[in-house]
Every structure is written in structure tokens, then in C-alpha cells.
Amino acid sequence: MVPMSEETSLNAYGNHVGTAPRPPTNPHGDIERFRHCVDEYISKADELEQRVNEAVEYYATKKQVNNPKGISRCKGKEKKKAGVANNCRINNNDNNLAGWNRKEALCTKRMQELMRQFGTIMKQITQLKGAEPFMNPVDVESLGLDDYYEVIDRPMDFSTIKKKMEAKDDSGYKNVREIYADVRLVFTNAMTYNDEGSHYHVMAKTLLEKFEHKWLQLLPKVVEEEKRQKEASQTLANMQIVQETAYVEMVEDTNIELDELILHLEELKELVVQKCRKMSSEEKRKLGADICSLPAEDIHKALVIIAESNYSSYKPQDEVEIHMDAQRESTLWKLKFFLKESLELQAKNSAGKVDDNLKKRKKDICFSGNCKKEK
């Protein structure tokens, strides 16, 4: 912690700089309050980082997400005031998500039931007299139907429909109307290829009429389910729009709060500087001389610290003159702490090199035959 003077008073310890309170009488208490502020800012920074990570994850997986996450948002009247930590945040609403999953499960169950009922209708039709020719694909070669594929664009039969109904992958039917269309195609193909008065044309027309009659009995349930699915799709689309809007607002709010946090940190730094013991001219002179004696890499780092403190960028030059008297107190203390860390690191590295040299020398002595074996 930077040494504190007892002459200046602290303006504030919260999120905003306010009217200066009575001069503190306990320097150690000031330090604890400063530490408390830093802890609060670190906590706030962690919170903002969590929000940023959440937004990054959302946008990275947006195209892959099929089910919506629930949205829970709250708006406070003091949205932009510091100290309001949880306004305008996005939370995963477990109740909404669980409710959506339940609706989706019920929808799937109802569709499976419609599929089962349609399967019963199809079984009844295929068991009727005259249905045998439509059970398998038309054997074009053995029947000599050379023009069959010129007349029929899409052949269909009940064995093909059954396989597609039993498929577990994306090749299967997605809804009952798709199966209905293929069953009709079985009969309309036969009616299209065969003459109106032929046996196959008559049987196809008869079976189609019976099938349509049974289909009309199931149709109201199909229409009702389609209506529910349409409403569910619209609900999903609305939830996704709300979710994306919420994330956009969250990102904007996070940027605002991040700017405020940076401002508060600068204010806190200024308050700390007011408490700093000012360096004497001799201390500044020695600090400058010690920095100039550092390795080139560390001198570069020190110049970067100075540039950042003056809100400018450092451009490497062959020769740079540092005016220590022109630097702010906060910059001087940053340089002092940097110098201390640099010298400690140099001492540690030097000790390591000495140790390595001793080990190497001992090894060389051993190789030369002068090292005694330990018993």
C-alpha cells in the first residue's frame, strides 16, 4: 500500500465522488476502507466479465440453439447509478425452459399418437381386397412397362411408405400429412398409368375413396395439432426475439457499467494519490538514476508506465530524457514499485545463475576425475 499522509481528507469511498467527509483520524482505517473499495470493484469487474462471457457464448452458439433459454429481466429506475448491481441482467429462467420442454414433449407425444392412428388406417386399407398390387414397387422389367418412368415421375408403394414411417433418422416422415400424400400417390399413380376402365384403375380408385373416407375422420385432430404446432413455433420465435433483444440490451448496459467502473477506479486512484506521501527531490533523483540503470527491456516498461499515466502512447527512441519532477505522484509511486519488482527479479535470476554455475563447476570437476565417490 502506498504510504499515506495525514494532511488530506478522503472525498468518498463509494462509487461516486461526493462531498468530502470529516478528515479521518485513523490512517489504518483509511487503508482498510480503500481495500474495501478495491474489493468491491474487483467483484463488480468479475460480474461484468461473467456477463460478457455469457453474451459471447450466446452469439457463438446462436445458430446451433433450437430451444430458447428463459429470459428474466428487471429494470430499475436508477439503472445508471453506481451501486445498482443486478439491473437489466439476463438470467436463465429454469421455469420457462422447463415449461417449454414440457410443451415440446407433449407435442411430440401427440404427433406420435396421430402417426399411430394413421398407421392403423393404412393397415386397414392394405388388408382390403385388391390392395395386393400396391404393396410393393411396380416390377417394370418383368411386366414390360417400358414407358412407366416416362408417365410416372415419382413411384410409390406401401412397403416404401412403411420403411419411411419406421425410419429413425431425418429420412423419415415429419408429420402425418406427408404420409397421407404418399398414400394418395400410390393410388393416383395407378390411376394415371392405367386406363380408366382397367382393373388396376378401378381398384386404385375404390381404395382411394375408402382411404379418403377414413382420413376425413382423422383430419380434425390433424388440423388441431397443426394449429398447436404453429402457435408453438410462433412462441419459440417470439422467445428467441426477446432473448436476442435482451442480450443486445445487456451488452449495452455492460458497456455503460464498465465505463462507470473505469471512472470510479480513476477517482479512487486520485483519492489514493491525495493520501500519498510526496517524494522528495532526492528520492526523485535516485529513482530516475535507478531506472536508467535497469536493463533496456525494463527501461522500456518504465517508459510505457509513464506514457500510460499521461494518457499517451510510448514510441521507442534511441535516447529518452525523463523529467521526474514533471511526473504525477501516482506515476512516481508506480515507477518505484516497478523498480522494486525489477530489482527483486534480477536478484533472483542472479542467484539462480550462481547456483547453476556451481553445479556446472562441480560436474566438470567430477568428469576430470577429481570427484570422490560417495560410500
CATH number at residue 112: 1.20.920.10
SS3 state at 193: helix
The C-alpha R_g of the chain, in whole angstroms, comes to 41
User: CB count, 10 Å around CB of 273?
Assistant: 17
Given this model, what pLDDT does residue 99 score? 64
Angle (nearest 5°) at CA 82 between 81 and 87: 70
According to the model, what pLDDT value does residue 267 have?
A: 84
CB 121 within 8 A of CB 214: yes
User: How much is the pLDDT for 354?
Assistant: 60
Q: End of a domain among 227, 254, 275?
A: 275
327: in domain: yes
Are 320 and 347 part of one and the same domain? yes
Rounded to an integer, what distance in angstroms lies between the CA atom of residue 47 and that of residue 256?
14
**What CATH number is attached to the domain comprising 349?**
1.20.1270
Position 16 in a domain: no
For residues 248 and 292, state if they share a domain.
Answer: no
Is 11 inside any structural domain?
Answer: no
102 and 210, same domain (yes or no) = yes
Cα 188 to Cα 200: distance, rounded to the nearest angstrom: 11
Note whether 213 and 312 are same-domain residues.
Answer: no
Same domain, 204 and 290: no
Q: Is residue 124 part of a domain?
A: yes
Identify the three-state secondary structure at position 38: helix
**Is 220 domain-assigned?**
yes
- Sign for the CA dihedral angle at 257, 261, 264, 266 comes to negative
Domain boundary at 206, 236, 266, which?
236
Would residue 194 count as lying in a domain? Answer: yes
Domain boundary among 177, 205, 236: 236
Query: What is d(CA 36, CA 31) in angstroms, rounded to the nearest whole number?
Result: 9
Q: Identify whether residues 203 and 132 lie together within a single domain.
A: yes
The answer to the question of residue 15 being in a domain is no
In a domain, 21, yes or no: no
Residues 340 and 295 in one domain: yes
Instruction: Please indicate, yes or no, whether residues 227 and 145 belong to a single structural domain of this protein.
Output: yes
- Count of the separate structural domains present in the chain: 3
Place of cell 478495491: 38
Domain match, 225 and 312 both: no
pLDDT tens for the chain, 375 residues long, are: 444 443 333 333 333 333 333 333 344 567 788 888 888 889 999 999 998 888 888 888 775 554 444 333 334 433 443 333 333 444 544 455 556 667 777 888 888 899 999 999 999 999 999 999 999 999 999 999 999 999 999 999 999 999 999 998 888 998 999 999 999 999 999 999 999 999 999 999 999 999 999 999 999 999 999 898 888 878 777 877 888 888 888 889 989 999 999 888 888 877 776 677 788 999 999 999 999 999 989 999 999 888 887 766 556 665 667 788 888 888 888 899 899 999 999 888 887 666 666 666 666 555 555 544 444
Global pTM exceeds 0.75: no
Residues 197 and 310 in one domain: no
Distance CA 155, CA 167 (A): 19
341 and 249 within one domain: no
42 and 101 housed in the same domain: no
Task: Identify the domain containing residue 360 by its residue range.
Answer: 281-367
Pull the grid cell for residue 182: 404418399
